[in-house]
Structure 1
Amino acid sequence: MTASSIAKDLRAEIRAGTYKPGDRLPSEAALMATYGVARMTARHGLSMLKDEGLTVTRHGSGVFVRAFEPIVFDSTGKKSDDSTIIPVMDETDAGLTVRTLAVTPEEEPTEEARVALGLDEGVQVTTRERLHVRGRKPLLHGVSYIPASIAAGTPIAQDEIGAGGTYARLKELGHEPVKFHEDVVARMPTIEEIEALRIEPGTAVLQVMRTAIDSDGKPVEYSRIVLDGGEFMLRYDFDA
């Protein structure tokens, strides 16, 4: 009996509901007795499930089936008072709080942001960095770039941006976003992202790259958002 065979059996039982989210899986000793294998084989079988993101290890307690109760990141958005569609995540219902990590009124953008915003070399941006947290667990890290010609000297360049956030302030400045473009990729996290978001082993991140465009067709914000893939589900609606 191989480790992969043990993992296959346990995976099938998880999918069949024999082991439900939050249930403890058999210990290494129990698997050794059931399958007649060495401890390292049993341990490797459990480790394979952890690497797949199906389980979590609680030190001193054992290996448990991972619960997935996704927070919906709705890029279809909701309508504002004048029917503008704004991508939204209901932070209150999801139990999230937002921490502003840094605000830089004027700096050079990343090359990625410069291209997305269509800025010439040397043109600066206002940068806002934030972290979304549920309890003690960070779930989302985002950095937004707004042309400094729009944002510098306004509340967008301040720590306290006010109700409605960046999009509300852009509307007040005459640059209300009326269209959004998003690219989404799934990838494995960097070491820095694993540490910042406390990501479980075997879990991918979702990277959302969003450009907000005003009624003149001008890009007015570029956001690079990294979400813990074990915590979020992306939602999109399409007209037929």
Structure 2
Amino acid sequence: MAESARQIADELRDRIQSGELAPGARLPGEPALVREYGVAKETARRALTLLVTEGLAVRRRGSGTYVREFRPIRRVANRRLAQEGWGSGRSIWAADLGERPLSVTDLKVYETTAPDHVARVLNLAEDTPVVIRDRVFVVEGEPVQAATSYLPAELVRDTAIAQPDTGPGGTYARLAELGLKPVRFTEELRARMPSQAEAERLHLAEGTPVVEIWRTAFTEDDRAIEVNKMLLDAGVYVMEYHLNS
């Protein structure tokens, strides 16, 4: 009996995870899968697409489908937001990447009226301006995350936070210097499919989901000081949390 696309993808995934198919190796093409498994071409295509959407494989136009060489990013929320990191001048990305290269593209820093939902979280009056920092983070040449931060303009407009380069430790270090040190954070996560514009911005393969995270930073007096919307390529992230009972 012919196997399903999911069964074929499972077998190919096992071969990838065992190392039989190494990073950069070419996966069997649709004709080979049709012959090996006795399935229709569309079933073979769906099997390969499943691996692409999981972040295990990439398609190269006119060449085939290959095992993805990009190593997953392990995002440990508890560690990346620890004060000993940004408080000592390190980027919060250092906790995720170690020595892996990081760059920022499509950076825009501007002031505008706060969206309604952001104004509610920041406890701002209607039409209150915020400083927005909008950018895409690129790791080893691959866009992995788009992020948009919102901060009350009256507090940060004449500071490094409103400049392209916020300096060592980033936004949280600058807030601390202003007497607005973040001491706790909340994050809300959901998985969804991206819009066309989002998929193009992150160079996502067709059918690849994203993880949307809304993070709010709070000061010691429980004031919400920053809202950050992050959109992550679900195929390149492992989310890790350390929870105490």
TM-score by length of 1: 0.84
Contact kept, 8 Å, 1:21 with 1:66, in 2: the verdict is yes
Pick the aligned partner of 2:197 from 192, 199, 202.
192
Corresponding residue for 1:113?
118
What secondary structure is seen at the aligned counterpart in 1 of 2:26? coil
Alignment deviations for residues 109-152 of structure 1 (CA, whole Å, 9 cap, x no partner): 11221122111112111111122112432111111111112112
Aligned length: 237
CA distance in structure 1 between the aligned counterparts of 2:6 and 2:198, rounded to whole angstroms: 28
Deviation at 1:49, TM superposition (A): 4.3
Over the aligned positions, Cα root-mean-square deviation in angstroms equals 2.8
Higher strand share: 1
Deviation at 1:168, TM superposition (A): 1.1
Alignment of 1:79 with 2:83, yes or no, is yes
Q: Would the alpha carbon gap of residues 167 and 52 (structure 1) be closer, same or farther in structure 2, given more than 3 Å must change?
A: closer
Deviation at 1:213, TM superposition (A): 0.8
CA distance in structure 1 between the aligned counterparts of 2:178 and 2:201, rounded to whole angstroms: 33
Corresponding residue for 2:62?
60
Alignment of 1:14 with 2:19, yes or no, is no
Unmatched tracts of structure 2, length 5 or more: none
Corresponding letter in the other structure for 1:120: A
Alignment deviations for residues 36-81 of structure 1 (CA, whole Å, 9 cap, x no partner): 5554554454445445554322223222234562212232033328
CA distance in structure 2 between the aligned counterparts of 1:114 and 1:54, rounded to whole angstroms: 39
Contact kept, 8 Å, 2:175 with 2:181, in 1: the verdict is yes
Alignment of 1:96 with 2:102, yes or no, is yes
Alignment deviations for residues 5-64 of structure 1 (CA, whole Å, 9 cap, x no partner): 255134224225354544322223323333455545544544454455543222232222
Corresponding residue for 1:26?
28
Contact kept, 8 Å, 1:53 with 1:201, in 2: the verdict is no
Alignment of 1:167 with 2:166, yes or no, is no
Q: Would the alpha carbon gap of residues 94 and 115 (structure 1) be closer, same or farther in structure 2, given more than 3 Å must change?
A: farther
TM-score by length of 2: 0.83
